[in-house]
Structure 1
Amino acid sequence: MTAQGAARASRQQRQQQIVDHVLAKGDASVAELTELTGVSVMTVHRDIAELADRGILRKYHGGVSAQPSTVFESSSDFRLHAHTGEKDALARAALDLVAPGMSLMLDDSTTALALAKLLPQVGPLTVVTNYRLITEELRAADDIRLIGIGGEYSRTHDSWIGLSALEMIKSFSVDLTLVSTSAMTGTMTYHQEQEIVALKRAMRLAGSVSVLLMDHSKVGRSALHRLDPVDAFDHVVLTGPVDDEPVAEMRKLTDVRVVTT
């Protein structure tokens, strides 16, 4: 890694630390964040300014507070650095459901991105996605036929969304759809954004077989909008540890696979 790349990774990790701390507490002072990160006050001010500009945190005199969880949970930048080990485990488990010659639809989740990185091992495949990072990952893969879903570009999600994207998704019929979402209980899945709910529902319906990929932190939670009931998915793949009760509820409704990281 170049010195510039190392500095960028260090900044991302530090900003993730700041966001995690502020989300846990609700707010934090500059002095508190300086002590937490071990960097200078000026560096913390720059981090705060960048996070506020991106709509992740709300800046006030002497500190920051958390924006509504919808902003944080939708940010591709920050999802990329959360629960990475669990996403890799989910990707490895999901790969068992993929066979050469299949057509796949992948949503704009960072879990789907982890799977995309493994797909060249399986090819030939056709992959349909609206996530820019997946197209970047697979564009040079010889055995992958790559189809991009177009629409309105969302900087927050780093993907293409909106009515055009929705209509394009509805035009496909693929062998396997793989998606993730923000939250689930033993019987229902949720997402905080109405527009994203519509896209994920359409993706599930576009697949002959649908797979839900969820890390354990999302289980036992809800969000503003109901997405789909658990029994709408043919397979649910979870990382442990997960409470027995919601898993037992899910297993009454569909195939559930719990994997270790």
Structure 2
Amino acid sequence: MLPINRKKKIIDELSIKGKVEILELVDLLGVSAMTIRRDLDELEKQKKLIRTHGGAALPQAIIGEQSYEQKLSEAHIQKKEIAQIAVGLVKDGMRILLDSGTTTLEIARLLKSRTNITVVTNDIKIAAELTDSNLEVILLGGKIQNGVGAILGSYAEQMLKNIHVDILFLGAHAVHASLGITSATFEKASIKKEMINVSEAVYLTVDAHKFGKKAFAKIAGVDSVTGIITDSTISKEVEEIYKEKSTFIKGVTK
């Protein structure tokens, strides 16, 4: 196996597990411990992992909150790819719920030209994007998260308790095979749980780099969503892990 392929395999394992041991990589890749140590050292220099005693871990064990500008600049092409898949699930007459986030903002942009659809959202930027559309738009009320534009809290959750939608497009900070779908704060996790409760179908919309990671507050198990929509950069190994837990829909490499 070429060094570049071996290193990719190591990163894929980290994406799934969060941390790996040298001995398990020796068994997996069929090379010496010295070769694995050299690979880990080089990957650490590239800031792709952190060396630990006997192995390595992802540089960010727990994902924190990011500003809107940070989110907007990350994986932009992949978010557009996810949005293209998502809008294909939306039929005329549907009532859909768009969770706050930059991936769901891309979904909103693609829905702007549609009619006979109701969009409920807790994101002021999504609501603003759809202001000049022919869609019926319902913005949840409550506390606005500064720097992000998400609406959170008990008022928003109470509004959700009084509606029912056909599809929820759910965002998340991180997705882990055993720890589930997670968010940066209890407050965000709480409103996302309520969104799941009022939705007929739930599609998790996350780009490939969020898999194998974890954030502070649990939203739900991976097997509790109708399907997972992601982009074409997802590795085969990661895809196989999550296909066992939920319907998996990914973009097609162009």
The TM-score normalised by the length of structure 1 is 0.70
Aligned to 2:81: 89
Aligned positions of 1:181-196 closer than 5 A: 181-187=172-178, 188-196=180-188
Alignment size in residue pairs:
194
Aligned to 1:158: 149
Contact 1:185 1:246 in 2 (8 A): no
Aligned to 2:109: 117
Aligned to 2:217: 225
Contact 1:186 1:247 in 2 (8 A): no
SS of the equivalent of 1:178 reads strand
Task: Name which of 59, 70, 73 aligns with 2:64.
Answer: 70
CA shift for structure 1 position 170: 2.0
CA shift for structure 1 position 80: 1.4
Aligned positions of 1:1-261 closer than 5 A: 70-71=64-65, 73=66, 75-142=67-134, 144-187=135-178, 188-260=180-252
CA shift for structure 1 position 69: 5.3
Q: RMSD value over aligned CA atoms?
A: 2.0
SS of the equivalent of 1:226 reads strand
Q: Bigger shift: 217-226 or 238-247?
A: 238-247
Structure 2 unmatched ranges of 5 or more: 1-46, 49-61
**Does 1 or 2 have the higher relative contact order (CA < 8 Å, sep 6+)?**
2
Separation in structure 2 between the aligned mates of residue 159 and residue 214 of structure 1, nearest angstrom: 17
Contact 1:186 1:220 in 2 (8 A): yes
**Identity of aligned pairs, percent?**
25
Structure 1 unmatched ranges of 5 or more: 1-23, 26-67
The TM-score normalised by the length of structure 2 is 0.71
CA shift for structure 1 position 153: 1.5
Give the letter aligned to residue 120 of structure 1: K
Separation in structure 1 between the aligned mates of residue 181 and residue 235 of structure 2, nearest angstrom: 16
